Amino acid sequence: MARKELENMFNALSDSSNGIHSFLKEYIGKCKSGEIIVGHELIQMLDILQSHFGNPDIRFELEDPHKRIKFIETHCKHFEAPFAGKPFILELFQKAVAEAIYGFKIFDEEAGRWIRLYQDILYVVGRKNGKTPFVSALILAEFFCGPKGCKVLCASNDDQQADLMFQAINSMREESKSLERKTRKNLTGIYFGNPRKPIKTGKFSYQNKGSIRKLTARTGSKEGRNIAVGAVDEVHEMKNNELVMPIQQALSTQEEPLYFELTTEGFTNDGYLDKRMKEARSVLAGEAEQPRWLIWIYTQDNEAEVWQNEQSWHKSNPGLGVIKKWSYLRKWVDLAKTNTETRAFVLAKDFNLKQNTAAAWLMENEYMNLDIFNPEDFRGHFGMAGVDLAETTDLASAKIMLMRKGSAKKYFLSKYFIPEAKLKAKEKDEGSDYQKWVADGLVEVSPGNENDFSLITKWFIRIYKQFGIRPYKVGYDNALAKYWAKEMEDMGFDLERIPQERHHMSSPMKLLGQDLRGGLVNYNANPVDMWCLGNMGFSVDSREFIMPVKIKTDKRIDGGVAKIIAYATYTRYRNDFINLLK
């Protein structure tokens, strides 16, 4: 259909509310004509909304949404740079969302009146598109424009994220003298009534028991609440419905409850958001019915268009060019083209393309290094060690990282350890050749069913006796250390605990990746090292912290983990270590 025909069709859908202009109909028309670029999942929702206009059982009235839009644009101000202090003027897509939420009405026999059709809103949009300020402004508008006694809960998986929404609401309240005069804030929440400007009766007095409070997954006593509005921010981090179910149940007594879920895509596999997105896509495809659910998803249709067509970025970033800067997004996309960790983060957070937890960390050409060196060249040097003890019944790895003064290149001495009982079974691992590695002296076998960690201690002593190479620090995770740590300390080694946790492993893993890609790591062409690096994937969280994981559960990554631990120890003691280098 030609663009002019589309415009005429939607102009014909003029609003029945006294000829008032509808932002939703304008938005639908521009999306359908291609003037505004959106993904197919949002088009599916717009098709559903369009069908409502011709449904005699559904009314479209603009008084309620426009009251809230006017409230936001008149009373709310931005509180963060670069818009701090400026009026909160909504973009067309935000006004369309507001009309979709508040404009459609159905007759409820039990209530005996026309009530809001949509009670459950899933709002998925790329980061930095103003989702938290926008929904916060809607909540503040509902608090003032909605019924007396409106109670609101702002929730998220942790206190920091829940506080972002709560503080956004409060900051907008404080920016407006008229709103601030009618309300008060204390440690528990925001309430009507101001002791400095007391009003004895009415909606804006202490008689109004409405409130805005925050809640996290770690907060106790989530049951037994009675609220009118619930909003859960960044649901992608939630593993289950432990937080959202009590909030949804707390809304059950309301005739017109309002429940928001707002988020970007995340990295929690089989988590709460995965289930919700699967349900949402079934509804959008017409395979399931949930007529009270407004599903507003901004996402790319595929990954290829991210790299090939900048204009497609609008699909997941409706605020691009106004709220979110082109330069900001281009910078991240450029980084993502050359960095695996950044790529996964950008695709999830900026384009709402879910990434597998165990994405491959490095390409083969990035970690494959056939350079060799002679340990004799480092005679009398200090090194930085890393040990991954793994399980006592599986592969363990010990490494010494060596450097020369004035050079960023790292050289690794390595040894692996495996129980005798596991040796034969491990031969079935794809890409492994344990028997040859044992014969070549790369893997040492412990008699019996468990690793004898004292063999690791003996290896460090042997390296010292043979080459005079001594670890300045030995990084390890003490979860499985048991007697070994004490044995090492008794032999005079200085140990440093490196917990295998995201905030400890992320930076050294990224640094190791950069060095491997830059050809700054020489691990003596050790085939076990190559195999472990090829097996290693990574997981990333919303803070862009990464962790090593196995691409497949039956593969070993111990050699890569031991390198990361050595790097982590090195970064803690970089200056002292460099001063010892020859």
**344 and 368, same domain (yes or no):** no
* Contact assessment for residue 151 and residue 211, using Cβ atoms and an 8 Å cutoff: yes
- CATH label of the domain that carries residue 403: 3.30.420.240
* Contact assessment for residue 545 and residue 503, using Cβ atoms and an 8 Å cutoff: yes
Give the total number of structural domains in the chain.
2
| Dihedrals phi, psi of 471, to nearest 5 degrees | -70, 130
**302 and 395, same domain (yes or no):** no
Could you tell me where the DSSP H helices lie in 16-158? 23-33, 40-52, 63-75, 92-103, 131-145
Residue 385 domain-assigned (yes or no): yes
**157 and 33, same domain (yes or no):** yes
The pLDDT, as a whole number, for residue 226 is 84
Task: Please compute Rg for the chain using Cα positions.
Answer: 30
Give, in degrees to the nearest 5, the angle at Cα 262 between 257 and 267.
140
**207 and 254, same domain (yes or no):** yes
**88 and 120, same domain (yes or no):** yes
pLDDT digits (tens, 9 = 90+) for 93-152: 999 999 999 999 999 999 899 999 999 999 999 999 999 999 999 999 999 999 999 999
484: containing domain = 364-580
Q: Which amino acid is at 108?
A: D
* Contact assessment for residue 535 and residue 528, using Cβ atoms and an 8 Å cutoff: no
- CATH label of the domain that carries residue 35: 3.40.50.300
The pLDDT, as a whole number, for residue 425 is 64
CB proximity list for 413: less than 8 A, separation 6 or greater: 375, 383, 399, 400, 402, 463, 469, 524
Q: Answer whether residue 557 shows pLDDT above 70.
A: yes
pLDDT digits (tens, 9 = 90+) for 231-260: 999 888 888 888 888 898 889 889 999 999
Residue 357 domain-assigned (yes or no): no
Could you tell me where the DSSP H helices lie in 428-542? 434-439, 454-467, 483-490, 502-517, 527-535
Residue 498 domain-assigned (yes or no): yes
Domain boundary among 303, 321, 349: 349
Residue 355 domain-assigned (yes or no): no
Domain boundary among 349, 374, 403: 349
The mean of the pLDDT values for the chain is 90
* Contact assessment for residue 142 and residue 258, using Cβ atoms and an 8 Å cutoff: yes
**286 and 338, same domain (yes or no):** yes
| Dihedrals phi, psi of 144, to nearest 5 degrees | -90, -40
**326 and 370, same domain (yes or no):** no
**295 and 374, same domain (yes or no):** no
pTM comes to 0.79
**504 and 534, same domain (yes or no):** yes
Residue 102's SS3 state is helix
Residue 32 domain-assigned (yes or no): yes
Residue 275 domain-assigned (yes or no): yes
Residue 354 domain-assigned (yes or no): no
**343 and 413, same domain (yes or no):** no
* Burial class, 276, CB count within 10 angstroms (exposed 0-12 / middle 13-18 / buried 19+): buried
pLDDT digits (tens, 9 = 90+) for 480-515: 777 899 999 999 999 999 999 999 999 999 999 999
**341 and 413, same domain (yes or no):** no
**511 and 373, same domain (yes or no):** yes
